Each structure stands twice: as structure tokens, then as C-alpha cells.
Amino acid sequence: MPDPNVDIDRLLNALEGARDLLGASRELPKCAACDKQNASLSVFCTSCGARLSYPCPGCGQNCRSRDRHCAACGCELADKEVLESIERAKAAEQILNSDPLRVFDELHKLSDNRAVHYRARRQGKERFLKVAEKNLSRNLLRNEAGALKELDHPNIIRLMEHHEHRDRTVVELEWVETEVLRFPLSIERLIKMMLGVADALGAIHQRGIVHCDVKPDNILIRKDGTPVLIDFEASQRPGEARVSGYTPMFAAPEQVFGDRVDARADVYAFGMTLYLLFFYDRLPSILDPESGTQRAFEKILKASVKRSEHYLEPSTMIGGFGRKAIASPEEDVHYTMPRVKLPAGAASNEGEMLGAKYFFAAELQRIADVNRRLDLTREILAIIAESTEVDPDRRPANGSELFTRMSTLADALGKEA
């Protein structure tokens, strides 16, 4: 018994279109513009370049100019719809063949690695561009664009445009005016900053996305102090690790071994980032020398500064987009106290010496201020320890749980204010 839901007329049209197509395949198609024969699957005439086929207005499958109905869906190929389809195809081809960077008024190259990074201006607005030409780099940018299309959060970089051209992929992101951080960070600021990162991770985990590369270099700080999570090139859905590259210090054990990764891999990287930012340049001499805390933390505080120097260069977390590529060697912005340089073999004059002493007194007071809430050290270390458990089942499950833990610390700050 025939299916009552089948459109008999459309089926007959499709059969007629298929018959036309089979009949056409027995003789080589002739170009309507120059009357030259071409290969049966040619899209453009090899003699004059005229289009020999066009996408069906209904289903997008290629049809030939002599067809009356689409062989795939049975759509009637009326002249008006065919012309509109051809115009759309031409516009798409122009985009593919055009130079995607011509639309920008200004371009300043920031770095040239796997993808080229630019600071650009378009219609009076700043943009951050990533441009890739090689297949691997293009796939990573497509992956980032796909993830960011699903996300809209104040602590996550915003995708403006994604362009695919014949020889390159362009991802256009918002430009973030960043602040240069001075270390060590105050406990209050560190907690509020990492609370925003946890909120961002909670949002991406709710969408079923794992960032897979959380680290200080991938966190921007806006001028108003808001953290922004960037660089989603390695992001993926939970499952077997898809990208073999990772940042060793921040990669979870399961990520290193290529096992299944999920939100808990980002939790591990969050814990390592919190560890570095908390201990970096925090001077142990400010702690009470008579307390057990001083003796317990002295070695790890000293060791952590050396260990973290490689990861806390004047780059993204500290200096903004492209800072690593353009910073001059003289800019020791990651040092708390600038080095005093004196001429070889010469003693400083009284003014220089007095200035250095005033500077030291002010710096000592600042260090005391930023370490004022070291009473929260136990709670901070507990979050770091739980987040960096080797066994992922013993870590917080996702960014939302991290946000809850960090909120408890933020509440403790508020009660003392």
C-alpha cells in the first residue's frame, strides 16, 4: 500500500530530473556561452569559464542548465529561482577568493607563530585577529570559533566574526584593553579574579565544552579588573583527548596520557594557576617569624618563584595580547622591585641611597598590605590541593563547584570589610 505522506508529484519530478541527468551524461555537456564540450562533471567551462551547473534552490545539489527538475529533491528549476541561485553561488565564490584583511582600516602584526595575530581596526572599532593558512592551524581556529559561537559570558572572550576563504581562515575577536599586574597580588584581588575564571569555566562546562588549556597566559585582565578566558583552540567535548599538545605544568594527568578528558581537566589547570598566582613573589619574611606558618612555607615560597618564572613572563596574563612578542628585554614587569643599577666600581651618592631607602620602606608596606589576609591561606591551599588531585574523581566536578568554593572565600572577605 503506498505511503500517503509521499508527495507523488515531487517524486515524479525527481525521477524526471534523474532521467534528464542520465540522458545528459551520455553526451558531454556543451557550454551555452561558447558551445564547447566539457567533461561531464565540470562546474565551469574549460574554454570560457562560464558556469555549467548551479546549486538547486531547494536542496543545494548541483544541477545542469538543461534540467527541468532537481534530480535530488524534485524541485522545479524555474528561471527566476535558478538565476537567484547562481547569483548566490557567485557571491560565495567572491568571498572565497577575496582577501579577508582588506576590510580592516589598520593592521598591526603582534606575533607570527602557528597563526598570525593582528591588532586591527574596523569601522572605528578595535579587533584582535587570528589568521591561519596551514591546515592544522586552520582546523584549530575553526575549532575555537565553533566553541565561542555557543558562549556569551563577561569572563569569556567574545567572537565577532569567523571567515573562511580559499587559502586562509580568519577569526575576529574583541580587543581587550588589558592591565599590567604587579606581583604579588593581594589576597582580595586574587580571590575576586579567580572567582571570575571559575565562573567562566562553569559556563563552558554547562555547554559541554572542555577548555583544555587553562593557564595564566590564557587569562586577560581588563582595565576594570575583570578576568577574561581566551584561546579555545584546543577545546573539545568530553571524551578522548583530541589535541596531543598541552602545557606540561597545567595539564591534568589524564590529559598527558591521552585518556578521556572532561571538566575535571580544567579544574586541575585552575588549581595550578591559583597556586602560581598566589605564591608568585609573595615574600615569606612578611610572615610572623615565630609562627609555624613561616617555617612550613619558607621553602615552598622560595621555590615557587623560580618555578613560576617560565610561566609568568610579561605576556597575556600580565601584559595583554601579543605582549610576549613585542615587549623589550628591559621591561622586567614581572619583578616586584626594579633592580638598582650602579656604575661599575662607583659608590652611589647620598641622594640615590636615600631614594632607595624610601622606596624600600614603601615597598615593604605594600608587601605587608597585599599579604594582609594570609589568614585565608589554609582555605586557598585546600582549594589548590583538591583541584590538583591526581585522581580526577577526587577533584571538584566542574567549574560550577569551583565557583561555589571561591565564592565562600569571597564571602569571607566581605565579612571582614
Same domain, 226 and 325: yes
Tell me the torsion sign for CA atoms 139, 144, 149, 150: positive
The pLDDT of 285-301, averaged and rounded, is: 47
The pLDDT of 330-353, averaged and rounded, is: 49
> Does position 109 have pLDDT exceeding 70, yes or no?
yes
Domain boundary among 117, 149, 174: 174
Contacts of 342 (CB under 8 A, 6+ apart): 348, 352
Q: Residue 73: what pLDDT?
A: 75
Domain boundary among 49, 73, 97: 97
Same domain, 59 and 121: no
Domain count across the chain: 3
Among 201-210, 228-237, 320-329, 361-370, the least confident range: 320-329
CA dihedral 184, 188, 194, 195 (to 10 degrees): 180
Same domain, 235 and 109: no
Q: Residue 58: what pLDDT?
A: 74
pLDDT tens digits along 127-184: 999 999 888 899 999 999 999 998 999 999 999 999 888 788 999 999 999 888 888 8
Distance between CA 216 and CA 228 in Å, rounded? Answer: 11
Among 73-77, 259-263, 391-395, the least confident range: 73-77
Question: Which residue would you say has higher pLDDT here, 366 or 69?
Answer: 366
Q: Would you place residue 328 in the very low, low, confident or very high pLDDT band (cuts 50, 70, 90)?
A: very low
Distance between CA 13 and CA 24 in Å, rounded? Answer: 16
The pLDDT of 262-290, averaged and rounded, is: 79
Same domain, 20 and 110: no
Contacts of 368 (CB under 8 A, 6+ apart): 286
Same domain, 126 and 209: no
> Does position 234 have pLDDT exceeding 60, yes or no?
yes
Q: Residue 394: what pLDDT?
A: 96
Domain presence at residue 78: yes
Domain presence at residue 360: no
Domain boundary among 67, 82, 97: 97
pTM greater than 0.85: no
Same domain, 88 and 114: no
Q: What percent of the chain lies above the pLDDT cut of 90? A: 36
User: E strands, 79-146, where?
Assistant: 106-112, 116-122, 125-132
Domain holding 159: CATH number?
3.30.200.20
Residues forming beta bridges with residue 172, ordered by sequence position: 129, 161
Domain presence at residue 236: yes
**Ranges 96-100, 246-250, 326-330, most confident:** 246-250
Q: Which domain holds residue 398?
A: 187-335+371-416
Same domain, 78 and 196: no
The pLDDT of 82-108, averaged and rounded, is: 66
Same domain, 35 and 120: no
Q: Read off the amino acid at residue 191.
A: I
Same domain, 86 and 110: no
Domain presence at residue 344: no
Same domain, 149 and 192: no
Question: In the numeric block, which cell numbers belong to residue 60?
Answer: 543545494
Same domain, 305 and 329: yes
Q: Residue 75: what pLDDT?
A: 75
Distance between CA 253 and CA 197 in Å, rounded? Answer: 21
**Ranges 58-67, 187-196, 299-308, 318-327, most confident:** 187-196
Same domain, 387 and 269: yes
> Does position 124 have pLDDT exceeding 80, yes or no?
yes
Domain presence at residue 84: yes
Domain holding 262: CATH number?
1.10.510.10
Domain presence at residue 362: no
